[in-house]
Amino acid sequence: MVDIATRVHDHNWKIDPIVRSLLDTDFYKILMAQTVFRRHRDVRVEFSLINRSAEVPLAKLIDEGELREQLDHIRSLSLSRGESTWLRGNTFYGKRWMFSPDFMGWFENLRLPPYHLERRGDQYELTFEGAWPEVMMWEVPALAVLMELRGRAVLRGMGKFELQVLYARAMAKVWEKIERLRRLDGLSIADFGTRRRHSYLWQDWCVQAMMEGLGERFTGTSNCLIALRREVEAIGTNAHELPMVYAALAGRDGDDRALQAAPYQVLEDWSRDYDGNLLIVLPDTFSSTTFFDRAPPWLTDWTGVRIDSGDPFEQAEAVIAWWRGHGLDPKEKRIIFSDGLDVDLIEQLHAAYADRVLLGFGWGTNLTNDFRGLAADERLAPFSLVCKAVSADGQPTVKISDNPLKAMGPPDEIERYRRAFEIGAQTPRAVLV
Amino acid sequence: MVDIATRVHDHNWKIDPIVRSLLDTDFYKILMAQTVFRRHRDVRVEFSLINRSAEVPLAKLIDEGELREQLDHIRSLSLSRGESTWLRGNTFYGKRWMFSPDFMGWFENLRLPPYHLERRGDQYELTFEGAWPEVMMWEVPALAVLMELRGRAVLRGMGKFELQVLYARAMAKVWEKIERLRRLDGLSIADFGTRRRHSYLWQDWCVQAMMEGLGERFTGTSNCLIALRREVEAIGTNAHELPMVYAALAGRDGDDRALQAAPYQVLEDWSRDYDGNLLIVLPDTFSSTTFFDRAPPWLTDWTGVRIDSGDPFEQAEAVIAWWRGHGLDPKEKRIIFSDGLDVDLIEQLHAAYADRVLLGFGWGTNLTNDFRGLAADERLAPFSLVCKAVSADGQPTVKISDNPLKAMGPPDEIERYRRAFEIGAQTPRAVLV
């Protein structure tokens, strides 16, 4: 029997919204938002969308009107009562009351600020300006909307069964990966694939497949809405955004010493807000080569390190050497790999490090958007889209990374940062996703 | 929103019935039933289930109680008003009113007769006895029930996502076949896969995928219920059952001349009931080698021949030679291949015969039940199960076929038939499905 009320209710949708909740974002955005809200709520930032895959002509594929509808829909969202209750009442990383009442009050009243959208050739210029804690919440939904609209554009015109077979093939592909991961003893892997996912429904499917297929090896998802609905752990660390903005602010008067100290100031603030498994250093914002040399002694107390660029084996060896140099047992420390992971690399890293450190994987795009080989001309293949803070209080931000192809910022500022952080030669690595 | 009424209604199902309609059968069973009803409605027959794949221990896999429930459910079925209207009012093979009012009156009152079920070791003995037109309607639902219960037994205990991936893989597999078939110009292919299908829902999916993927190349399905619901052509020819029973009756007093004439008597009766594309000879019941030599001259007027055993190329060449020998142009005649087809063989046969005759394919088990490679130990692979007339008015029936491994009947009767039909050496071919 048809549920008539459902059908009639569905008539009211003018669009099929991609992002339907402010919780449809990465957990670390909320963690970071709280830290920012406490200390820098009045900093004005600009975030900008950057398509690192110029061969994907987003403005040709995606109708501007449709894109505006989706972005406008996101601006109409606010935290629902149940979502707020989850943030207030849930246990995150084994702790209750992670979010303070004043931050929750702010979040409950949050509406995302305006966006600026313009077509430039075959690409869109999409930027967000305003107070840091508000603007930063645009990052993940903006990326998710563009990824999903691009997918919808490609899928339009496919037959019903052709579509079903496409998803059937994608399911079989994910499941084969899960079957391989299942063989890795002691594996600890989380979904980090929200931002460049194929679609919300697809990410939700992938998470559930991981739950069933990997059992305890699957530690959770970075997506808060899916964590809430599927009753799994919300997983998050912290991102380049914090040191980038901190550095832009600290170095504004040409003060290189303040610039050098900025990444550690981030960590000091962070360790006031969080502890335990949330104390994961992300060392590569201004290259990790000299990061550990300059690190304050208390940083060795942190739980672990997330490796997000560069050669993962070299980076891991450097981190292990740093711990050993401080007389620490790496077996009690955690390394989280999160850059360009797919099953081959996960297997290799697991083989190399499972016995040497506590190991975790944050698996992103190749989990939630591996449609390569499934549509003609790879029109559904994932591509490299990011949404980053480009300025703070009028100062340009800079990211160096351990991969020069991931560097961002004005060239002269990049040079300045390279000097300040004493960064030598770097090896470029192809940025696929 | 949940449709509460649907959920509450579903509580009433004590079982999940496999066969839910008397139209969930092959169209030719109904065509043959009409011919039998008109001429032999009082003949007493016995049909028996035969598992030619002894390695599949049906009685170990399938619970006897569950099997009885399914068979009992089939006995509760009768033709619904809409189903009857479809048979009465639909166009079959371009003709209206294919079924006469008296036959329809009989069909509307039909309930399937009792069955006899006994476990013998790891197999079931399942037989049906009674008036021919009633008993013959058991064949397809009995096979479908056993195939599907075996599948259910294997699938039990699989996880929700594991199951979804299993079907995803099966869908991708069927679709790859469809993509290959799509390239064959002028292809004409129908679904003949009811009896050994994986399940009803799966056959229904396969038919819809063929509709979308093959367009006009897909000519229809032998399954009446799916033809009705999906609004495609119901496709059918005729089966070994008719000459087997006719021969058993004609040869009952040791009359070999009457025995020899029986297959042609079938065709004479058939051509009184049907015409056009329904005049398709099935020559291999008692081997096709001498069938055409003895055929009456009028048989060359028939539209075509269905090749269902033996080497399909050799058989096709023999048929083409027979037509040529009668001064006929094979390009105006139809050959339908229906034995052990899969894409490789269809491609080869299409390449060899598309330009030489009117060509048709009746694709069965490898369309609707190709789960090979999709479950451990091939526990879902199709197997060779048949349900055949074994006696008529107390006389054993015999089938010789063009493949000695498909021969059936008491050995001494097989010998007698081989003499009567002057059958020489035959080449065995593995019977896979």
What's the pLDDT band for A203 if we cut at 50, 70, 90?
A: very high
Q: How many CB atoms lie within 10 A of CB A83?
A: 19
A186 and A293, same domain (yes or no): yes
Q: Which residues on B lie below 8 Å from A2 (Cβ)?
A: 3
A116 and A188, same domain (yes or no): no
Q: What percent of chain A has pLDDT over 90?
A: 93
Residue B182 lies in a domain: yes
Residue with tokens 């208390």: A298
Mean pLDDT within A155-179 = 94
CA distance A383 to chain B (A): 25
Q: Which residues on A lie below 8 Å from B173 (Cβ)?
A: none
Q: Which of B3, B159, B208 sits opposite A161 (nearest CB)?
A: B208
Look at A59-63, A388-392, A422-426, B135-139 and tell me which has the smallest mean pLDDT.
A422-426
B25 and B147, same domain (yes or no): yes
B243 and B391, same domain (yes or no): no
B182 and B299, same domain (yes or no): yes
Average pLDDT, chain A: 95
Bridge partners of A391? A46, A396
B43 and B66, same domain (yes or no): yes
Q: How many domains does chain B have?
A: 2
CATH code, domain with A54: 3.20.140.10
Q: What percent of chain B has pLDDT over 70?
A: 100
Q: Which residues on B lie below 8 Å from A171 (Cβ)?
A: 164-165, 168
pLDDT in tens, B67-106: 999 999 999 999 999 999 999 999 999 999 999 999 999 9
A114 and A169, same domain (yes or no): no
pLDDT in tens, B237-252: 999 999 999 999 999 9
Give yes or no for residue B315 having a pLDDT over 90. Answer: yes
Residues 6+ apart with CB under 8 A from B258: B250, B251
* Dist CA B309 CA B423 (whole Å): 15
Among the residues of A231-386, which ranges form H helices? Answer: 241-250, 256-273, 291-294, 312-325, 343-353, 365-368
Give yes or no for residue B14 having a pLDDT over 90. Answer: no
Q: Which residues on A lie below 8 Å from B212 (Cβ)?
A: 159-162
Read off φ and ψ for residue B362, nearest 5 degrees.
-110, 100
CA B356 to chain centre: 26
Chain B residues with CB-CB distance to A under 8 A? 1-3, 5-6, 9, 159-162, 164-165, 167-169, 171-172, 175, 208-209, 212-213
Interface probe for B, chosen from A7, A167, A171, A202 (most Cβ of B below 10 Å), is A171
* Dist CA A209 CA A212 (whole Å): 5
Is B161 within 8 Å of A1 when comparing Cβ atoms?
no
Domain closes at, from A368, A390, A418: A368
Q: Which residues on B lie below 8 Å from A160 (Cβ)?
A: 212
pLDDT value for B225: 98
pLDDT value for A3: 79
* Dist CA B413 CA B399 (whole Å): 10
A242 and A115, same domain (yes or no): no
Q: Which residues on A lie below 8 Å from B175 (Cβ)?
A: 161-162, 165, 168
Interface probe for B, chosen from A7, A161, A212, A218 (most Cβ of B below 10 Å), is A161
Is B162 within 8 Å of A2 when comparing Cβ atoms?
no
Q: Which of B1, B159, B165 sits opposite A3 (nearest CB)?
A: B1
pLDDT in tens, A210-265: 999 999 999 999 999 999 999 999 999 999 999 999 999 999 999 999 999 999 99
- Higher-confidence residue: A11 or B366? B366
Q: Which of B5, B164, B172 sits opposite A165 (nearest CB)?
A: B172
* Dist CA B90 CA A326 (whole Å): 85
Residue A393 lies in a domain: no
Chain A residues with CB-CB distance to B under 8 A? 1-3, 5-6, 9, 159-162, 164-165, 167-169, 171-172, 175, 208-209, 212-213
pLDDT value for B327: 96
Residue B405 lies in a domain: no
What's the pLDDT band for A10 if we cut at 50, 70, 90?
A: confident
What's the pLDDT band for B376 if we cut at 50, 70, 90?
A: confident
Domain closes at, from A97, A124, A157: A157
Is B1 within 8 Å of A1 when comparing Cβ atoms?
no
Give yes or no for residue B352 having a pLDDT over 90. Answer: yes
B129 and B217, same domain (yes or no): no
pLDDT in tens, B37-46: 999 999 999 9
Give yes or no for residue A12 having a pLDDT over 90. Answer: no
CA angle, B149 as apex, B145 and B153 as ends, to 5°? 175
pLDDT value for B11: 78
Give yes or no for residue B1 having a pLDDT over 80. Answer: no
A193 and A307, same domain (yes or no): yes
* Dist CA A284 CA A277 (whole Å): 19
Residue B55 lies in a domain: yes
Residues 6+ apart with CB under 8 A from A209: A171, A174, A175, A178, B161, B165
Q: Which residues on B lie below 8 Å from A374 (Cβ)?
A: none
Residue of A nearest to B168 (CA): A168
Give yes or no for residue A1 having a pLDDT over 80. Answer: no
Interface probe for A, chosen from B3, B7, B9, B171 (most Cβ of A below 10 Å), is B171
Q: Which of A2, A165, A212 sits opposite B175 (nearest CB)?
A: A165
CA distance A218 to chain B (A): 15
B280 three-state secondary structure: strand
pLDDT in tens, A82-102: 999 999 999 999 999 999 999
Is B169 within 8 Å of A168 when comparing Cβ atoms?
yes
pLDDT in tens, B121-172: 999 999 999 999 999 999 999 999 999 999 999 999 899 999 999 999 999 9
SS (H, E, C) B112-135: CCCEEEEEECCEEEEEEEEEHHHH
Give yes or no for residue B433 having a pLDDT over 80. Answer: no
Interface probe for B, chosen from A6, A164, A177, A374 (most Cβ of B below 10 Å), is A164
What's the pLDDT band for B263 if we cut at 50, 70, 90?
A: very high
* Dist CA B254 CA B256 (whole Å): 6
pLDDT value for B5: 78
Give yes or no for residue B388 having a pLDDT over 80. Answer: yes
A182 three-state secondary structure: coil
Average pLDDT, chain B: 95
pLDDT value for B15: 87
Residue B427 lies in a domain: no
pLDDT value for A344: 98
* Dist CA B97 CA B86 (whole Å): 10
Instruction: Give, for A220, the enclosing helix (H) or strand (E).
Output: strand A218-221
* Dist CA B395 CA B245 (whole Å): 9
Residue A418 lies in a domain: no
Residue B260 lies in a domain: yes
pLDDT value for B20: 97
Residue A249 lies in a domain: yes
B110 and B257, same domain (yes or no): no
* Dist CA B371 CA B158 (whole Å): 15
A148 and A167, same domain (yes or no): no
Burial (Cβ within 10 Å: 0-12, 13-18, ≥19) of residue B276: exposed
Q: Which residues on A lie below 8 Å from B6 (Cβ)?
A: 1, 3
Domain closes at, from A329, A344, A368: A368
Residues 6+ apart with CB under 8 A from B268: none
Q: What residues make up the domain containing A102?
A: 14-157
